[in-house]
Chains A and B, each alone.
Chain A
Amino acid sequence: MNNIIEMFSYAFMVRAFIVGTLISLCASLIGVSLVLRKNSMIGDGLSHVGFGAFSIATILGFSPIEFSIPVVVIVSFLILKLNDSNKIHGDSAIALISASSLAIGTFLVSIVKGVNTDINNYLFGSILSLNNTDVLLSIILSILIMLLYIISYNKIFAITFDERFSKGIGINTNFYNMIFASLCSIVIVLGMRLMGALLISSLIIFPTISSMQYFKSFKSVVISSAFIGVLSFIVGLIISYSFETPTGSTIVIINLIMLLLFKVINYLRIRRI
């Protein structure tokens, strides 16, 4: 307990706590549709694009978050288009874009000697990297994401379940797909500072998969995911502070334990019936 009180006496921990809780919540909401539409890899791909954009922003002296959000949003639209066109298989397209971004980011940072940024921070995240502007931006955007999600919830469900039907009854699926891709991009960029490019997609995917082990309605999976996402983050943050372990990977491990726990619960439930 003293540990936790002490933890919150550091301003950077408070910042990490606020941003992380909000981002975990948003990421798990968005994750439900992403996983169910079998688009998990888009989350992963976009985080690598985010890494490339962060590197470029650093070199050019821009604010990483403000520069990366529009870049990642645009790339997410591009991926949507590629997915539709059928010219390149969707998965391959994402893999190409993601590997290229990772390569370009690393390449640029290494040739510009004047930049003393630790690439590790971008790849694996750092709780020290958040400044007050980041926190404010994260709070505003998270609230925006949650509002948009709640307002579009019924349409998001319909499109996730059956895009063709939704189109047939006049839902502008292209518009909602673009909204959704934007929300996804924003969550990824915001979460990357904390979790790193390599680990942020876990915040999106794990809570949904865990919830689906036990819950069978869309609404209950959404609510449970939000809960699991936030809980895993808070537990992970406290453990990483107490034992001085890397934050991002600790949070992912807590998520993994949650998943295993839900698997066991599901197994026991089936056995009893």
Chain B
Amino acid sequence: MNLIELNNLSLGYNNNIVIDNINLNIEDGDFLCIVGPNGSGKSTLIKGILGLIKPIKGKIIYNDLKPNFIGYMPQETKVNSNFPATVFEIVLSGTLNRLGLKSFYTKKEKQIALSNLKILGIESLKNKSFGDLSGGQRQKVLLARSLCATSKLLILDEPSNNLDSKSKKELYKIILDLNNNYKITIIMITHDLDHNNLIGNKILSLKDDDIFYGTVDEFVRKVHHE
């Protein structure tokens, strides 16, 4: 089943087109990596899918999914190291899209937050202050928060930025696990994967006017061919 369909989609700001006429389907269970140099429109595409900017042309079709219920992990959440917030407060805030007109969390939202802490193996950090955590731990907390917002699709914008290689590995392992065992569809913008160590099953490469969309195998063949 197609979770999201992009049909002849053009996106940009003030009619400056950044992404032109893109067509692709994201299927339930996919793990799509978006690669490409700075300014190639990776973040713009994500904003489009999240419904934060309106298409200039074409359209986005969501099947069995609302844009508000996509678990979004923004790039480099810059947080003051002395920002007073516990891990639980932060993760719980990911369930806000489930509240609708209600103002307060119920038991249900708290349970969702707790179970996502468990999935990411950071239950023990629950009452810790976010500022006291390491870079890798912080990313896991933000991932748990995104997970609270969705049961279907995660969109991760360079989640491994500024992490050491050990934490990077660990984070990718968790993300793969979410895809394989929890059947969460994943769209991930990434910088640090070259064609030798790609993960996921599909690749969207935005490079100048040369847009490639296909499976990882096709992409590797194409790169070797060039």
Residues of A within 8 A of B (CB): 36, 150-155, 157-158, 161-162, 164-171, 211-212, 215-221
- What string of 1s and 0s marks CB contacts (under 8 Å) between B82-113 and chain A? 11111001100110110100011100000000
Of B67, B84, B105, the contact of A216 (CB 8 Å cutoff): B84
In the complex, given contacts A158-B93, A165-B146, A170-B51, what are 7 additional A-B residue pairs having Cβ atoms less than 8 angstroms apart?
A153-B103, A154-B103, A154-B105, A165-B73, A165-B74, A169-B97, A217-B85
Residues of A within 8 Å of B50, CB to CB, are: 168
Q: Is the CB of A154 within 8 A of B104?
A: yes
Of A152, A164, A167, A169, the contact of B94 (CB 8 Å cutoff): A169
Residues of B within 8 Å of A153, CB to CB, are: 103
Q: Is the CB of B68 within 8 A of A170?
A: yes
Of B51, B84, B96, the contact of A171 (CB 8 Å cutoff): B96
Q: Is the CB of B96 within 8 A of A169?
A: yes
Residues 121-167 (chain B) with a chain A CB within 8 angstroms? 127, 129, 131-132, 142, 145-146, 149
Q: Which of A167, A168, A218, A220 is the most central at the interface, judged by chain B CB atoms within 10 Å of its CB? A: A168
Residues 178-207 (chain B) with a chain A CB within 8 angstroms? none
Of B70, B79, B93, the contact of A157 (CB 8 Å cutoff): B93
Q: Is the CB of A212 within 8 A of B52?
A: no
Asked if A217 meets B86 with Cβ closer than 8 Å, knowing A151-B103, A168-B50, the reply is yes
Main secondary structure of the interface of A (DSSP, over half): helix
Q: Can you list 27 pairs linking A and B with CB atoms under 8 Å apart?
A: A36-B80, A150-B103, A154-B96, A157-B93, A158-B93, A161-B85, A162-B77, A164-B74, A168-B70, A168-B74, A168-B149, A169-B70, A169-B72, A169-B94, A170-B67, A170-B68, A212-B82, A212-B84, A216-B131, A216-B132, A217-B85, A217-B86, A217-B89, A217-B129, A218-B86, A218-B89, A219-B89
Q: How far is the CB of B65 from chain A (nearest CB, A)?
A: 13
Q: Closest chain B residue to A208 by CB distance?
A: B84
Q: How far is the CB of B100 from chain A (nearest CB, A)?
A: 10
Taken together as a complex, chains A and B put the C-alpha atoms of A214 and B93 apart, in Å, by: 23
Taken together as a complex, chains A and B put the C-alpha atoms of A197 and B127 apart, in Å, by: 40
Q: Closest chain B residue to A167 by CB distance?
A: B52
Q: Is the CB of B79 within 8 A of A162?
A: yes
Q: Is the CB of A221 within 8 A of B84?
A: yes
Of B83, B99, B103, B145, the contact of A165 (CB 8 Å cutoff): B145
Residues of A within 8 Å of B83, CB to CB, are: 36, 161
